Chains A and B, each alone.
Chain A
Amino acid sequence: MDAKTAILARAREAISRSQQGRPVRDIPRNYLRVGTDAPGSQPVVADMVEKLEDYSAKVVRAPKDAAILDGIDELLGDARSVVVPAGLPQAYKEAAARRGRTVREDSRQEPIPTLELDQIDAVVTCSRVGISMSGTICLDGEPDQGRRAITLVPDKHVVVLEREMIMPTVPQAVDVLGQNPTRPTTWIAGGSATSDIELVRVNGVHGPRNLGVVIAH
Chain B
Amino acid sequence: MTQTSQTFLGMPAASPEEQPHTGGWRTNVEVPQDTLRWGHTFPEGAHKTLANTQMRRNLGHATRTIRNKRQLRVDEMPDWEDLREAAEAVKFEVASRLPELLEQFEANVTAHGGIVHWARDAAEANRIVADIIKSKGIDDVVKVKSMATQETNLNEYLADEGITAHETDLAEMIVQLADDMPSHIVVPAIHRNRSEVRGIFLDRMGDAPEDLSDKPEELAGAARAHLRRKFLHASVAISGTNMGIAETGTVSIFESEGNGRMCLTLPDTLITLMGIEKLVPRYQDAEIFAQLLPRSATGERMNPYTSMWTGVTPGDGPQEFHLILMDNGRTKVLTDPIGRQALACIRCGSCMNICPVYQHTGGHAYGSVYPGPIGSILTPQLTQGLADDDPVHTLPFASSLCGACAEVCPVKIDIPTILIHLRARSVDVKRRLVPDMWDVAMNAATPVMSNGKAWLAATEGVKATRLIGRDGRIGALPFPASLWTRSRDLPVAPKESLRQWWKRTHPEGITPARSGLGAAQSTATKENR
Contacts and interface: CB of A to CB of B under 8 A. Distances in A.
Interface of A: 2-4, 6-8, 10-15, 17-20, 22, 24-33, 51, 55, 107-109, 111, 114-115, 118, 131, 133-136, 141, 147-149, 152-153, 170-171, 173-175, 178, 181-200, 202, 204-208
B170 A174 contact: no
A171 B287 contact: yes
Contact of B86 (A28, A111, A181): A28
A8 B306 CA distance: 30
B310 A182 contact: yes
A14 B502 CA distance: 60
B304 A192 contact: yes
A180 B306 CA distance: 17
A166 B86 CA distance: 25
B245 interface: yes
Contacts of B303: 189
Given A25-B89, A108-B316, A194-B170, A11 B276 contact: yes
The residue in B232, B248, B305, B335 that gathers the most chain A C-beta atoms within 10 A of its C-beta is B305
Contacts of A13: 331, 335
A134 B292 CA distance: 12
B266 interface: yes
* Most B C-beta atoms less than 10 A away, residue of A147, A187, A204: A187
Contacts of B119: 3
B90 interface: yes
A152 B308 CA distance: 15
B308 A11 contact: no
A142 B221 CA distance: 32
A181 B285 CA distance: 12
Interface string B301-321: 111111111110111110000
Interface of B: 58, 61-62, 65-66, 69, 78-79, 82-83, 85-86, 89-90, 92-93, 95-99, 102-103, 106, 112, 117-120, 124, 168-171, 174, 187, 189-190, 192-194, 197, 216-217, 219-221, 223-224, 227-228, 231-232, 245, 247-250, 256-259, 261-262, 264-266, 276, 283-288, 290-291, 294, 298, 300-311, 313-317, 325, 327, 331-332, 334-337, 340
A189 B112 contact: no
B7 to A, nearest CB: 22
Which of B86, B124, B265 has the most C-beta atoms of chain A within 10 angstroms of its own C-beta? B265
B344 to A, nearest CB: 13
A94 to B, nearest CB: 25
A8 B120 CA distance: 10
A127 to B, nearest CB: 14
Nearest to A195: B298
Given A174-B287, A198-B62, A11 B331 contact: yes
B97 A204 contact: no
A133 B79 CA distance: 13
Nearest to A3: B118
A35 to B, nearest CB: 11
Contacts of B168: 206
A206 B313 contact: no
Given A204-B224, A206-B259, 12 more contacts: A11-B98, A11-B102, A15-B334, A19-B96, A28-B82, A31-B86, A114-B232, A134-B294, A149-B317, A190-B304, A206-B168, A207-B305
A147 B217 contact: no
Contacts of A133: 301
Contacts of A189: 300-305
Contacts of B124: 3
Contact of A197 (B170, B290, B334): B170
B97 to A, nearest CB: 7
Contacts of A149: 265-266, 316-317
Given A3-B120, A108-B315, A15 B95 contact: yes
19 contacts: A6-B120, A25-B89, A28-B86, A31-B79, A32-B78, A32-B79, A55-B304, A118-B228, A153-B266, A178-B284, A181-B248, A184-B308, A184-B310, A185-B309, A187-B290, A192-B257, A193-B256, A205-B256, A206-B262
Contacts of B112: 182
Nearest to B219: A197
A206 B307 CA distance: 15
A183 B284 CA distance: 15
Given A171-B287, A206-B258, A20 B337 contact: yes
Contacts of B190: 199
A5 B300 CA distance: 41
B197 A197 contact: yes
A28 B304 contact: no
A12 to B, nearest CB: 5
B244 to A, nearest CB: 13
B258 A152 contact: yes
B184 to A, nearest CB: 10
A18 B220 contact: no
Contacts of B117: 3
Contact of B220 (A30, A51, A202): A202
Nearest to A108: B315
Nearest to B108: A182
Contacts of B305: 186-189, 192, 207
A111 B302 CA distance: 30
A190 B98 CA distance: 36
> Which of B86, B291, B302 counts the most A-chain CB atoms under 10 A from its CB?
B302
Contacts of A170: 287, 290-291
In the A-B complex, list the 6 residue pairs whose CB atoms are closest, starting with the nearest. A207-B258, A108-B315, A189-B302, A196-B171, A187-B306, A14-B334
Contacts of A207: 257-258, 261-262, 304-305
Given A31-B86, A181-B248, A198 B93 contact: no
A135 B302 contact: yes
Contacts of B69: 199
Contacts of B262: 152, 206-207
A187 B220 contact: no
A18 B187 contact: no
Nearest to B309: A184
Contacts of B264: 148
Contacts of B93: 24, 27
A199 B191 CA distance: 11
Contact of B304 (A6, A32, A191): A191
A151 B407 CA distance: 39
Contacts of B256: 192-195, 205
Contacts of A19: 96, 337
A188 B307 contact: no
A8 B99 CA distance: 6
A107 B305 CA distance: 22
A2 B420 CA distance: 37
B276 A108 contact: no
